[in-house]
Amino acid sequence: MKNIGINGYGTIGKRVADAVSAQDDMKIVGVTKRSPDFEAQMAVKKGYDLYLSAPEKESQFEEAGIEVSGTADELFEKLDLVVDCTPGGIGSQNKTDIYEKIGLKAIFEGGEDHDAIGSSFNAEANYESNIGKDYVRVVSCNTTGLCRTLKPVYDLAGIKKVRAVMVRRAADPNDAKKGPINAIVPTTEVPSHHGPDVQTIIPDVTVITMALMVPTTLMHTHNIMVELENNVTTDDVLDAFKEAYRVLPIQKSLKLGSTAEIMEYAKDLGRSRGNMYEIPVWEESVNVEDGELFYMQAVHQESDVVPENVDAIRAMLELEDDGEKSIIKTNKAMGIL
């Protein structure tokens, strides 16, 4: 049983904590919080030991009646690996300032740059190349979504080139400060950073992306066009998506024609926090025309990366050397379809 900690118990951190707790080969020893808010209260209520990443705030936790087990540094001493879920940029700093100094293995999230961490991870695409690594970045929600569906297409038909238009949610549902509230904001940097990020995982595929932000909090959607190397049919692609472990072909005709309905479906599935770990692909949108594949997918930004973190832990701690076995184990423990 490996000892895991979460540094930064926020949107991603709290979900990763629960996913790790659902496994039988790893456990959460503690999580860190900076402020004595409702998430800190809930962490303790769930049975997680809470450690302070800002020890000078100890009295604030005391005043709020939130039990603390020590400082983040004390937590790190107890761990085999830390999952750093702090906001983008802080993880890379923690890598050099803390983890490298104490020799602690660490996973970082998509807000960090590939170069700062050295290795990027997606379970179905490159589990094996991350076995035994000390520092690994689980790529962002959007990059994870692209890798999940491009990898099976690549294996099935080969890929000459990918173009994708990413429609991005403006903020997470709990975020009262970000916008836009009533505007579409194009990312005028073309190509956007998403394509090169996919190439940190699947290096020999050219992916060119454009992005725009829209006033929604629920999910991102991707419109994807793939020039194929080999002749395949629409049904071949659909079969490949059905066989992939974390891709979920869905039908608009079942009243799943929008991100709102997909989020309702996730709730009906009884998923904690309404999580949709799989990448839903609209079956009706999958179409091969003249050697080019077209499809549309959605990404639940708060949860698609969560099972990837569990598999990354298994690879880095050498708990399993077969990526497929790890994926199956993680999926079973988390109820992934």
* Binding interface with ligand NAD (CB under 6 A): 7-13, 32, 34, 53, 85-88, 90, 109-111, 140-141, 172, 301-302, 305
CB of 173 to ligand NAD, least distance (A): 10
Give 5's strand partners. Answer: 30, 82
Burial 284-296 (b: 16+ CB within 10 A, else e): eebebeeeebebb
CA distance 18 to 37: 19
CB of 39 to ligand NAD, least distance (A): 6
Q: What is the CA radius of gyration of the chain?
A: 20
Give residue 335's identity as a one-letter amino acid code.
G
Long-range contact pairs involving 125-132 (C-beta distance under 8 Å, separation at least 24): 125/151, 125/201, 125/202, 126/201, 126/202, 127/311, 127/315, 127/323, 127/326, 127/327, 128/315, 128/321, 128/323, 130/312, 130/315, 130/316, 131/315, 131/316, 131/318, 131/321, 132/315, 132/316, 132/318
Cβ closer to ligand NAD: 72 or 316? 72
Residue 181, classified by CB atoms within 10 Å of its CB into exposed (0-12), middle (13-18) or buried (19+), is exposed
**What single-letter DSSP state applies at residue 178?**
-
CB of 110 to ligand NAD, least distance (A): 4
CA distance 298 to 293: 17
Cβ closer to ligand NAD: 5 or 283? 5
Give the up-direction half-sphere exposure of residue 247: CA atoms within 13 A in the CB hemisphere. Answer: 27
CB of 183 to ligand NAD, least distance (A): 20
Cβ closer to ligand NAD: 10 or 291? 10
CB of 15 to ligand NAD, least distance (A): 8
40, 79, 82, 141: the catalytic one is: 141
Cβ closer to ligand NAD: 113 or 239? 113
Closest CA to 46 of 6, 78, 86: 6
Q: Are 117 and 136 in contact (CB under 8 A)?
A: yes
Is 147 in the active site? no
Q: Report the residue closest to ligand NAD, judged by CB.
A: 10
Cβ closer to ligand NAD: 109 or 311? 109
Cβ closer to ligand NAD: 81 or 305? 305
Residue with tokens 């194009």: 186
CB of 109 to ligand NAD, least distance (A): 3
Write out the catalytic residue numbers: 141
